[in-house]
Structure 1
């Protein structure tokens, strides 16, 4: 298997090269040269996720030095439950795919742990510098996955005033080989800094830069695997065998992962990309034209993205594979959905997961009733307690892993959204290491 850039000006590379580079030299994102197609009958429901993931992802690793390590990488990354729960009871055709049972309480744990396991096997003697922009959850997951590893050090950029208090604590608490950097700007500014750093060959080589954002294919592959696994599990519950999916969408990595799983043969039916008030995807869906916008702040801050990087990958899939609908859910609707579903059913959504739940409620009755639907529940509601608790009228209990964050000291660096300041910080971190 070889991998090519979405922009077409980079020679095909191996999987290891794609993971190590993070971004293609021409500024594009790596895609498989050809999408592998599985025979669905060979994948049954009920298999452990780690074993399923290794088999589902094996074509991507074919012929690569990491091929012999794939089973071990999956066993290391997929160590926590991914339940499909019935938030409104078994008789209602919605299942929540709870992706927040990992160490940092967000779906990003899968990709961060998988990618760091790959880096452990690729880095060599000198550590890689994992440079990541975060709108909230990626940074915490990358920091947790990177801390204490000799193969890599993490530098995490996050936007000032645009993450929740708990997310900021989780971004800044790792110490050791992880540096949190507060940027005077929004997520798109952070993402632009990361891309600019990769576009500088001298800087990239000097620091052995690689990425842990969803621009790195290695972040997305485990999401492709658990999306496929969930599709088979949901299909086994009944209906027409092709469950629909509702995916909260910001930088579009999660949505792309699901679409790639469907293109590979997973039994995925209709796909709804559910966005917050950042309407770039909705405008594209309505007009057929993609145009980035400045991002705006919302309650679902991890999705506050006006220029979703992974749109390049969705476009590269082609019209048939990229067939979706888009639903925009504003802050008022987020608040209403969290309060109403707790009042009526006792289930607690985080603001991002509530967007998927609201999108399900808005489906026309025939579409909602004709199949089972799966809503991606992307983060533990405790991470947004200051938003959720007033809406439900009670405190939210953290998981043990989230509770442990309170005992860790925090530290951060601060920079303006300017490339010279990031370059100076990287040089400083290298000397300190």
Structure 2
């Protein structure tokens, strides 16, 4: 299996090389020369996700240096539950795929733990890889947790000042060595721009042994495609009807992962992506033009992305494989959906999951009744208690993993949104 850049000017890479480098040398994103399909006769939706993922991802790793390590990587990464639950008995067609039972309470735990397990096997303790990650909320916490205590990789997390929740900031800044948190004077797009600029400076990238843990890294998307396939196959096995999927979408990694699973043969029915008020993807869906813009702040802050990186991967797929719809959900609709569903059933969505729940609610009655629907619930509501509790009027209890974070010490450093300032911060940390 070889991987090529979406921009077509980089030499082909192996999977390990694509994971190691994150972005391709020409600034594009790695995609396989062909989308592989697993042996579906060997895939059992009733086995734990770790065993399912090892079988599902086998063709991606065939012949690669990491091939023999894949079962261990999956076992290390997927050691927490991934339940499909009924959030409201009055809506029998609706299931919530709860992706927030990992150690940092968000779906990013899947990709971060899988990717860091790969890095630990690719890296060299005498010259560790350096993960540089931009985060609008959840990615950085998951990467920090997955990196803490490792010796063949270190991590620097960039997050936008004043644009993450109070708990998210705690979760971004509480990890010990070899993790460093930098608070950028800007928005998420500024953080992402800094990361891209560092990678595009090849001498700098090589000197610092940079690699990426954002969803620009193919190693982030593969485990997400695995849980997508596992969930829809569970639903399909019971009903024999391809379930529809509603997924929150910011940087487009989640949405693309469901597309990727479907392209590999998973029984994914209609795919509906829910964005917040950042309307780049919605406008593309409506008029066919992709026009990145500055991000705007919303209640669903981990989705505050005006230039979704994975759009390059979306349009790299054949047109027949790009079938999806996009729904835009603003803050008012997020608030109303959280309140309405809590009052109806007691179930609490985080603001991001509420975007997807609202998109589902906007489907016609016939569409909802036509098939099962899975809503990707991407983060535990406790992470956004300061937003949700005033809406519902009810306290949210912290799960044990998140409660433990409250007692950790924190550390962060402020940096301006300039590449030279980022490099100075990184080099000072490395030298220290």
Q: Secondary structure at the match of 1:407?
A: coil
Q: Distance in 2 between matches of 1:360 and 1:237?
A: 21
CA contact (8 A) 2:3 2:30 kept: yes
Partner residue of 1:119? 119
Q: Which 10-residue stretch deviates more, 90-99 or 207-216?
A: 90-99
Partner residue of 1:323? 323
Q: Distance in 1 between matches of 2:207 and 2:62?
A: 30
Q: Secondary structure at the match of 1:237?
A: helix
Partner residue of 1:74? 74
Q: Distance in 2 between matches of 1:14 and 1:84?
A: 35
Whether 2:284 is the aligned partner of 1:279: answer no
Q: Distance in 1 between matches of 2:332 and 2:106?
A: 23
Q: Distance in 1 between matches of 2:141 and 2:177?
A: 14
Q: Which 10-residue stretch deviates more, 422-431 or 242-251?
A: 422-431
CA contact (8 A) 1:299 1:331 kept: yes
Partner residue of 1:204? 205
CA contact (8 A) 1:39 1:265 kept: no
CA contact (8 A) 2:149 2:176 kept: no
Partner residue of 1:193? 194
Q: Secondary structure at the match of 2:289?
A: coil
Partner residue of 1:169? 170
Q: Over residues 176-209 of structure 1, what are the superposed CA-to-partner deviations in whole Å (9 max), with x where a residue is unaligned?
A: 2111000011101100100000011111111110
- Identify if the C-alpha distance between structure 1 residues 206 and 397 changes in structure 2 by more than 3 Å, giving closer, same or farther: same
Partner residue of 1:152? 153
Partner residue of 1:363? 363
Q: What TM-score do you get using the length of structure 2 for normalisation? A: 0.98
The list of structure 1 runs, each at least 4 consecutive aligned residues, that deviate by more than 6 angstroms after superposition, is none
Partner residue of 2:9? 9
Shift of 1:327: 0.3
Q: Secondary structure at the match of 2:291?
A: coil
Q: Distance in 2 between matches of 1:379 and 1:102?
A: 10
Q: Distance in 1 between matches of 2:248 and 2:41?
A: 29
CA contact (8 A) 1:147 1:178 kept: yes
Q: Distance in 1 between matches of 2:193 and 2:130?
A: 17
Shift of 1:429: 1.1
Q: What TM-score do you get using the length of structure 1 for normalisation? A: 0.98
How do 1:26-37 residues align onto structure 2 when only pairs under 5 Å count? 26-37=26-37
CA contact (8 A) 2:38 2:57 kept: no
Partner residue of 1:255? 255
Q: Over residues 358-396 of structure 1, what are the superposed CA-to-partner deviations in whole Å (9 max), with x where a residue is unaligned?
A: 000000111111000000000000000011111111110
CA contact (8 A) 1:251 1:305 kept: yes
CA contact (8 A) 2:415 2:422 kept: yes
Aligned length: 431
Q: Distance in 1 between matches of 2:246 and 2:25?
A: 33
Q: Distance in 1 between matches of 2:74 and 2:263?
A: 22
Q: Secondary structure at the match of 2:321?
A: coil
Partner residue of 1:427? 427
Q: Distance in 2 between matches of 1:304 and 1:41?
A: 40
Q: Distance in 2 between matches of 1:14 and 1:175?
A: 32
Q: Distance in 1 between matches of 2:192 and 2:102?
A: 25
CA contact (8 A) 1:175 1:411 kept: no
Whether 2:95 is the aligned partner of 1:95: answer yes
CA contact (8 A) 2:135 2:191 kept: yes
Partner residue of 2:229? 228
Q: Over residues 22-71 of structure 1, what are the superposed CA-to-partner deviations in whole Å (9 max), with x where a residue is unaligned?
A: 10000000001100123544423212100100111011101101000000
RMSD: 1.0
Q: Secondary structure at the match of 1:320?
A: helix
Q: Distance in 2 between matches of 1:184 and 1:91?
A: 44
Gaps of 5+ in 1: none
Shift of 1:90: 7.6
CA contact (8 A) 1:134 1:187 kept: yes
Q: Secondary structure at the match of 2:16?
A: helix
Partner residue of 1:216? 217
Gaps of 5+ in 2: none
Q: Distance in 1 between matches of 2:287 and 2:381?
A: 34
Q: Distance in 1 between matches of 2:41 and 2:203?
A: 49
